[in-house]
């Protein structure tokens, strides 16, 4: 009975999901480059660079539907629960794992929720920088979360995922997205090695991610100043 | 549309389908000659291109058959896709965000509206004059002087190439035929066929017996390939003279002119790509690269063809 009542809502969520993917494709012709993995439904944690709120929908769009259904983005509860529309899109359209970013006020441990989602068989999309990168550097230093996941569930593939061009398509503070081509590159999975400490693992994971960034004169990550 | 016009479009489409069936058979024959389990990359690339041509030809035929609206929508989308590719590699800063967004979402649709309503006086000056002056102002108001001239120049170039030039293809519909008929839409078919077939013959002739390169540091184009390509375009133009108001000699010369302009246009694009360090503009058209890779010759040839038509037969 409960399933029957939620059916219209679930259909609405699916429809909105398809509409968002269509808009993403129309604006950016977003394309996946499966450089280090195959597009098959293996359980993975995709960890990506974060420059714009549109990063996660881009990765979500390029995943084939059978992979998209089992993939859950890890996102901030304060952002996605801010109003009714976001509370529909975040948890229901994208099926986000919502975590509380306020260490003093939260009642649930974010890492527990993440591990729980992995144990339920979900793949995850995470942004280990924690915040949107507004600097000239390609990446901010990674938070410990990625290492903790790698330690807790060492069998799961951690896949570096580079989203190119989004800082130009939709920089922070702009409302209208620019139509530019966006590419999402998936690299070879990384795992934590025996005896590897937190800092060296995070550095290795960040290097694997930056290696995927395209080098292009005239369209550098920092805003196209390079030549 | 007049029945005769529709029949002529259908006839031309079926003619091209016939050529494509031939090319498909050639591709499959070449494939079958390969030892089993082995694929020849040249043959596979050829087969992929033929498949893409099928798609492009079917899409264009449907658009032309549906008349003015279909053609306008098709080319407006082509402009959008081409501009998206061009701007991806253009020099730009945060300060250009609004002016670029205006270019894509306001200036592009307006240009096609002006074409649709046949406001010639506006559509020929809108981008070269008004957008040219307005967009740098919008960028300047955001106050970032670094590389300013490069940024606004690349933006204006993108709009001229991807919107202004491409919109001259659907603008051919608004040409008033000397006999007052609605057959101006056939000019688009004529134009597209001579330019694209000229390119095709240039490419394969250049590969077979091309020796002297025109610009060795830019592109593999050869003088021999270009001569063969232009001569084939002229022959096709002569064969299609019945679809135009140009007469036999006029149609042959117009086909040659469009083809030559187009080939030099793709040379210009080769220089841009070499400078930006890219091989293809995108991956949207399988086997061909991006929209700009497919349309580079059409882009240069379209305004010249449009204005010569008006100048001589106007």
Mapping DSSP onto H, E and C, the string for chain A reads CHHHHHHHHHHHHHHHHHHHHHHHHHHHCCEEEECCCCCCCCCEEEEECCCCCCHHHHHHHHCCHHHHCCEEEEEEHHHHCCCHHHHHHHHHHCCCEEECCCCCCCCCCHHHHHHHHHHCCCEEEECCCCCCCCCCCCCCCCCCHHHHHHHHCCCCEEEEEEEECHHHHCCCCCCCCCCCCCEEEECCCECCCCCCCHHHHHHHHHHHHHCCCCCCCCCCCCCCCCC
Query: Any chain A CB within 8 A of the CB of B90?
Result: yes
Quick: pLDDT tens for B92-141: 998 999 999 999 999 999 999 999 999 999 999 999 999 999 999 999 99
Out of B62-71, B94-103, B227-236, B283-292, least confident range: B283-292
Query: Any chain A CB within 8 A of the CB of B81?
Result: yes
Tell me if A178 and B146 make a contact (CB, 8 A cut-off): no
Closest CB to A181 among B84, B91, B93: B84
Give the burial class of B18: count Cβ atoms within 10 A of its Cβ; 0-12 exposed, 13-18 middle, 19 or more buried.
Answer: exposed
Closest CB to A223 among B85, B93, B98: B93
Chain B interface disruption, residue of A177, A181, A222, most B CBs within 10 A: A181
Out of A74-78, A131-135, B65-69, least confident range: A131-135
Quick: pLDDT tens for A185-219: 999 999 999 888 999 999 999 999 999 988 754 44
Domain membership of residue A157 (yes or no) is yes
A contact residues 145-174, partner B, Cβ 8 Å cutoff: 165, 168, 171, 174
Chain A interface disruption, residue of B97, B147, B273, B284, most A CBs within 10 A: B97
- State the pLDDT confidence band at A224, using cuts at 50, 70 and 90: very low
Out of A45-59, A68-82, A209-223, least confident range: A209-223
Tell me if B84 and A179 make a contact (CB, 8 A cut-off): yes
Query: Any chain B CB within 8 A of the CB of A181?
Result: yes
User: Residues B93, A174: contact at Cβ < 8 Å?
Assistant: no
Q: What does the radius of gyration of chain A's CA atoms come to, in whole angstroms?
A: 17
Give the residue-averaged pLDDT of B189-212: 91
Q: Is the pLDDT of residue B209 over 70?
A: yes
Out of A41-45, B168-172, B176-180, B306-310, least confident range: B176-180
Q: Provide the CATH number for the domain around residue A23.
A: 3.40.1130.10
Predicted ipTM of the assembly? 0.84
Task: Give the closest-approach CA distance of A183 to chain B in angstroms.
Answer: 10
Query: B292 to chain A: which residues are within 8 Å by CB?
Result: none
State residue A3's pLDDT score: 66
Range of the domain at A69: 2-210
Closest CB to A29 among B84, B94, B146: B84
Give the residue-averaged pLDDT of A16-20: 92
State residue B208's pLDDT score: 86
A56, A127, A171 from A50: Cα distances, Å = 8, 6, 11
Give the residue-averaged pLDDT of A91-97: 91
Query: A134 to chain B: which residues are within 8 Å by CB?
Result: none
d(CA A168, CA B81): 17
Tell me if B101 and A178 make a contact (CB, 8 A cut-off): yes
Domain membership of residue A185 (yes or no) is yes
Query: A171 to chain B: which residues are within 8 Å by CB?
Result: 94, 97
Q: Three-state SS string across B30-66, please?
A: HHHHCCCCCCCHHHHHHHHHHHHHHHHHHHHHHHHHC
Domain count for chain A: 1
Query: Any chain A CB within 8 A of the CB of B85?
Result: yes
Q: Could you tell me how many CB contacts below 8 A there are between chain A and chain B?
A: 56
Angle at B301 between CA B177 and CA B18, to 5 degrees: 75
Question: What's the whole-number average pLDDT of chain B?
Answer: 92
Domain membership of residue A159 (yes or no) is yes
Q: Find, in chain B, the residue whose alpha carbon is nearest to that of A167.
A: B94
Give the residue-averaged pLDDT of B147-174: 96
Domain membership of residue A222 (yes or no) is no
């Amino acid at each position: 009975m409960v399933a029957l009542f939620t059916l219209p809502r679930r259909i609405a969520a699916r429809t909105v999901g398809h509409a968002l993917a269509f808009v993403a494709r129309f604006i950016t012709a977003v394309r996946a480059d499966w450089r280090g993995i195959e597009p098959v439904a293996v359980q993975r944690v995709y960890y990506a660079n974060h420059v714009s709120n549109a990063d996660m929908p881009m990765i979500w769009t390029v995943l084939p539907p059978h992979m998209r259904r089992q993939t859950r983005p890890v996102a901030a509860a304060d952002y996605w629960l801010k109003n009714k529309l976001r509370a529909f899109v975040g948890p229901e359209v994208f099926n986000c794992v919502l975590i509380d970013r306020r260490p003093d006020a939260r009642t649930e441990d974010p890492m527990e929720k993440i591990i729980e989602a992995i144990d339920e068989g979900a793949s995850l999309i995470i942004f280990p920088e924690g915040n949107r990168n507004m600097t000239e550097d390609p990446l901010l230093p990674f938070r410990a979360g990625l290492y903790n996941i790698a330690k807790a569930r060492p069998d799961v593939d951690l896949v570096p995922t580079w989203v190119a061009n989004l800082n130009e398509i939709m920089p922070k503070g702009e409302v209208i997205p620019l139509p530019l081509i966006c590419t999402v590159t998936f690299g070879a999975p990384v795992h934590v090695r025996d005896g590897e400490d937190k800092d060296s693992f995070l550095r290795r994971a960040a290097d694997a991610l930056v290696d995927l960034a395209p080098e292009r004169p005239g369209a550098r990550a920092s805003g196209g100043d390079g030549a | 549309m007049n029945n005769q016009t529709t029949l002529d479009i259908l006839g031309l489409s079926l003619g091209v389908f016939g050529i494509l069936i031939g090319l498909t058979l050639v591709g499959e024959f070449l494939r079958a000659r390969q030892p089993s389990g082995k694929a020849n990359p040249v043959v596979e690339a050829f087969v992929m291109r033929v498949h893409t041509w099928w798609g492009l030809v079917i899409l264009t035929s449907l658009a032309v058959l549906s008349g003015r609206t279909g053609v306008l929508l098709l080319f407006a989308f082509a402009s959008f896709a081409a501009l998206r590719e061009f701007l991806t590699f253009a020099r730009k800063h945060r300060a250009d965000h609004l002016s670029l967004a205006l270019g894509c979402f306001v200036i592009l649709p307006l240009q096609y509206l002006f074409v649709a309503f046949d406001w010639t006086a506006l559509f020929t000056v809108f981008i070269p004059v008004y957008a040219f002056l307005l967009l740098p102002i919008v960028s300047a108001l955001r106050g970032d002087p670094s590389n300013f001239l490069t940024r606004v120049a690349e933006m204006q170039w993108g709009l001229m190439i991807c919107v202004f030039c491409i919109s001259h293809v659907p603008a051919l519909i608004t040409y008033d035929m000397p006999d007052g008929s609605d057959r101006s839409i056939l000019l688009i078919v004529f134009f597209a066929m001579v330019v694209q077939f000229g390119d095709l013959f240039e490419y394969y002739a250049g590969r077979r017996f091309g020796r002297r390169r025109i610009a060795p540091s830019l592109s593999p184009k050869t003088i021999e390939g270009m001569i063969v390509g232009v001569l084939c375009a002229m022959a096709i133009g002569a064969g299609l003279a019945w679809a135009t108001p140009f007469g036999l000699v006029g149609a042959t010369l117009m086909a040659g002119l469009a083809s030559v302009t187009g080939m030099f246009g793709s040379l210009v694009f080769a220089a841009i790509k070499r400078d930006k360090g890219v091989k293809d503009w995108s991956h949207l058209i399988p086997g061909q690269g991006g929209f700009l890779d497919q349309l580079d010759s059409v882009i240069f040839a379209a305004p010249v063809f449009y204005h010569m038509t008006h100048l001589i037969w106007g």
